[in-house]
Amino acid sequence: MTQPPPITTTHSEAVLPYLALALLDSGRGALLDDLKAREQVGIATYGTPLVTHNGRNCLADLYDELLDALMYSAQYELETGESLSEDLHEIKRVAMRVKARLSAQGTAK
């Protein structure tokens, strides 16, 4: 699925502040600095932070990123010999659920 570059609309809302609160509330604030760094990569790449209502299908973007995560996990296993089977299983489960939602939307890959 080819998607347009992201846009900002009057309905757009920054995603990182919402995610930051959720992480802090769940005791996972240690990820926040890494997420802020990733946001800067997104700004450098797209000219804007990740926002809602940006003209893209966020489920399709999520699915693409999950497929990348599977590939990187397999690469890690091949390069190090260390098994990530539990992590791979979880990523696969999430990817299959997202794929099912895309299919229900009629936008399955």
Report the chain (109 residues): mean pLDDT per 10 consecutive residues. Answer: 87 91 79 92 93 95 96 94 92 97 86
Beta bridge partners of 51: 14
Domain count, the chain: 2
Tens digit of each residue's pLDDT (9 = 90 or more) over 27-50? 777 888 899 999 999 999 999 999
- Model pTM score: 0.84
Residue 104 zone, left/alpha/beta (φ > 0; ψ -120 to 50; rest)? alpha
pLDDT at 105 (0 to 100): 92
pLDDT at 25 (0 to 100): 75
pLDDT at 109 (0 to 100): 65
pLDDT at 2 (0 to 100): 83
Tell whether 24 and 62 lie within a shared domain.
Answer: no
Tell whether 49 and 27 lie within a shared domain.
Answer: yes
**Cα–Cα dist 44/88, whole Å:** 30
45: domain range? Answer: 8-55
The H or E element containing residue 108 is: none
Q: Does the residue 3 lie in any domain?
A: no
